[in-house]
Amino acid sequence: MKYLSEYRNFEATKKYLDEIHRIATHNWNIMEICGGQTHSLVRNGILELLPEKVRMIHGPGCPVCVTPLNLIDKAIELLSNNVIVCSFGDMIRVPGSKKSLLEAKAGGGDLRILYSPIEAVSIAKENPDKEVVFFAVGFETTAPANALSVLHAEKEGITNYSILASHVLVPPAMEAILDDELCSIDAFLGAGHVCAIMGTQEYFPLVKKYKIPIVITGFEPLDLVQGIYMAVKQLEEERHELENQYARVVKEHGNKAAKDVIRKVFQVGNREWRGIGEIPNSGYVIRKAYRKYDAEAKFKVGNITAPENSDCIAGEILRGIKKPNQCGQFGKTCTPSNPLGAPMVSSEGACAAYFNFSDNLISS
């Protein structure tokens, strides 16, 4: 299977799009959970190929967007205290309350952009006289690798490594969105890669409680149009079921080894979501047994707080209540080179996706 060509095939994609046009008789609001899906929808121009009746609402599944502001300030504080801070790439341009990690780097901080937290453990090993912190953000998808880095450091007896963790979980966020009285969502496209780790089982209770279709969906254009088709079909047939479009990757029970690693290092706890606020039991916190790898405890930065920019409506964007182009600051005072909030920074953020790929066309 040629994943890069066959799932971007014009004819196959068109077949599903034609079917969606044929079967959609009502107005439907479908939320794609994951920022990767938002990115792919706009990057491939799929939104304009859908019938007007099918509206995609962009969900909160962008790790960069929901990482609380104070956590960025904490990472910057560590940088200014001579700590080597390692981070995934798109986290570094997100503005904290005063500056971004990238600006802190220009000011002399030792910031490293990595693809894997395991590399951060190697950096700690190579720099025994320095403290090394990995900025461990993300959903269930990145949690196993971050947990593994802690286990790896423990096994190697490395004591100068810790993680600044802000892991969030998808199902509690979906529940918070559905409980919001302004919620107008009729169906979800589930986040394919999150489910590759966690499996599909934890979504059954949501389908049952809220009587809402959930289709676990992949990221390629063909995945997305098939997922949307499956969701529209359920809605038109008045069904509400859990379906798995992304079966080539997502199994019912997920990835057991990954889940074991997560469970060993993390436990479920309350988490603050940027723009949304605290959601009970919506994230992972480091277990007591691994507290010495918890950067917040190790460096006593736990008390740093930071207020959000009051002009930014990221919270409403992330909950699907407003679209980026409904924000008064969009494209004016808020652009990717001068972002007011995180959704304008990450390529998975709904605002940046609109700005870069689609909506500045309409506004021209």
Partner 1 sequence: MNTSKLGFDTINLGHGSGGTMTRDLLDKIIFKTFNNTFLNQKHDGSIVKFGGEIAISTDSFVISPIFFKGGNIGELAVNGTVNDVAMCGAIPKYLSLAFIVEEGLAIDDFIKIVNSVKGAADKSGVQIITGDTKVVERGKGDKIFINTTGFGEVHPKANISANNIKAGDKIIVSGLIAQHGMAIMSQREGLEFESTIESDSTNLNFLVNDLLDKFGNKIHLFRDPTRGGLASVLSEIATDIKKGVAILENNIPLEKQVAAACEILGLDPMYVANEGVFIAIVDANVADAVVETMQNNEKGKNTACIGEVTEEHPNKVVMKSLVGGKRIVSPLIGEQLPRIC
On whether the CB atoms of residues 272 and 285 are closer than 8 A, the answer is no
Nearer to partner 1, 88 or 203 (CB): 88
DSSP 247: T
Nearer to partner 1, 111 or 212 (CB): 111
Nearer to partner 1, 87 or 244 (CB): 87
Query: What is the spatial distance between Cα 223 and Cα 103, in angstroms, rounded to a whole number?
Result: 38
Smallest distance from partner 1 to CB 14, Å: 7
Backbone region of residue 238 per phi and psi (left: phi > 0; alpha: psi in -120 to 50; beta: other values): left
Query: What is the spatial distance between Cα 235 and Cα 182, in angstroms, rounded to a whole number?
Result: 20
Nearer to partner 1, 1 or 4 (CB): 4
Smallest distance from partner 1 to CB 296, Å: 20
Nearer to partner 1, 59 or 213 (CB): 59
Nearest to 243 by CA among 255, 230, 228: 230
Smallest distance from partner 1 to CB 282, Å: 18
Smallest distance from partner 1 to CB 221, Å: 4
Nearer to partner 1, 44 or 97 (CB): 44
Query: What is the spatial distance between Cα 227 and Cα 22, in angstroms, rounded to a whole number?
Result: 16
User: Strand locations in the chain, DSSP E?
Assistant: 28-34, 54-61, 84-87, 111-113, 132-138, 161-168, 187-191, 214-217, 242-244, 266-273, 277-286
Helical pair 221-236 and 35-43, crossing angle rounded to 10 deg = 110
Nearer to partner 1, 188 or 357 (CB): 357
Smallest distance from partner 1 to CB 61, Å: 10
DSSP 114: -
> Which whole-number Å values give the CA distances from 122 to 48, 80, 105, 130, 144, in the listed order?
46, 22, 20, 12, 17
Nearer to partner 1, 327 or 345 (CB): 345
Q: Can you give the binding site for partner 1, defined by CB under 8 A?
A: 4, 8-10, 13-14, 36, 42-49, 63-64, 88-93, 102, 112-115, 119, 137-139, 141-142, 193, 221-222, 225, 336-337, 346-348, 355-358, 360-361, 364
Smallest distance from partner 1 to CB 101, Å: 11
DSSP conformation letters of 43-92: HTT-GGGS-TTEEEEEEEE-HHHHS-HHHHHHHHHHHHTTPEEEE-GGGT
Residue 182 has which token pair?
Answer: 């302004």
Smallest distance from partner 1 to CB 300, Å: 27
Helical pair 143-155 and 117-126, crossing angle rounded to 10 deg = 30
**Residue with tokens 């995945």, as numbered in its chain:** 223
Smallest distance from partner 1 to CB 63, Å: 5
